[in-house]
Amino acid sequence: MQPQRYAQYLEALGIELFVPRAGSARAATQAATATADSDEAAWTLLENEVRGCTLCALSQSRTQTVFGVGNRRTELLLVGEAPGADEDAQGEPFVGRAGQLLNAILRGMRWPRPTVYIANILKCRPPGNRDPSPEESACCTPYLHRQIDLIKPLMILAVGRVAAQNLLATETPISKLRGVVHHYGTRETPLIATYHPSYLLRSPGEKRRVWDDMKFLKAELEKRRAAAATG
C-alpha cells in the first residue's frame, strides 16, 4: 500500500498516524552510539589490562597474552582451559589441531567461528600445558567475568574438564557434567559442558558424544532465544 493511501486509510478509520519526532529519533541514535562507544572503551581497557597483567608467575614465561576472539555481541560464548604452544605464539585461542577440530564442529552446527566468542580460563600459557593452578585461575577469572558482563551471552559452552570444573567450582568428572544445563555467575547464565577437542583427538570414538552435546546446546539456545524475543 502506498504511503499516502495508507495515511488516508488510517484517517478514514479514525486512527492517528504515528510519526516519530525527529528529536526522539536523534536521542535514540545518540544513546545507542554512546552505549557502543562505552562498550568499546571497556573492551579496550580490559584488553590492555590483560596484556600488561603480572598477577601471577605465568607473566614471566608467556610469549604473549591470549585475550579472546570473536563476535562481542554473540549469543554463544565458548570458554576453554588455557592457551597452548600455538595459542601462545599466535595470541589467539584454539588455533592448533584442537582448534581446527573445534572449528569443524562449529561449522557443522552452522556457527562459523567468527559468529561466536572464544576465551579461556587463563590468558597465559602454563608451562608444559599443565592444568592451571588454583592461584592462577583465581588471578585470571575476574578478567573472564568482565568479558562475560560485556558480552552478556545467552549461553556458555564450557569446553573441556578444566574449564567446566573451574566455572562450576566442582571436581565432578566432565562425563557427569555433560547433558545438563548448569548456571554460571550472578546473571545465572545457562552453561553446558562438553569434552575438549584435544581429548577427541586422542579418543575419536567420543566424537558422537560431543555431537550430542552440541545438538543439546543448539536446542537450549533456540529455547532461550525464543524466550528473549517474547519477553
pLDDT tier at 67, thresholds 50, 70, 90: very high
Transcribe the chain into DSSP letters. Answer: --HHHHHHHHHHTT-PPP---HHHHHHHHHHHHHHHHHHHHHHHHHHHHHHT--SSGGGGT-SS----EE-TT-SEEEEES---HHHHHHTSSS-SHHHHHHHHHHHHTT--GGGSEEEES-SSPPGGGPPPPHHHHHHHHHHHHHHHHHH--SEEEEESHHHHHHHHT----HHHHTTS-EEETTTTEEEEEE--HHHHHH-GGGHHHHHHHHHHHHHHHHHHHHHHHH-
**Please, what CATH class does the domain formed by 23-230 belong to?**
alpha beta
pLDDT, tens only, 148-184: 999 999 999 999 999 999 999 999 999 999 999 999 9
Q: Domain coordinates of the chain in residue numbers?
A: 23-230
pLDDT, tens only, 117-150: 999 999 999 999 999 999 999 999 999 999 999 9
pLDDT at 15 over 70: no
pLDDT of residue 12: 47
Model pTM score: 0.85
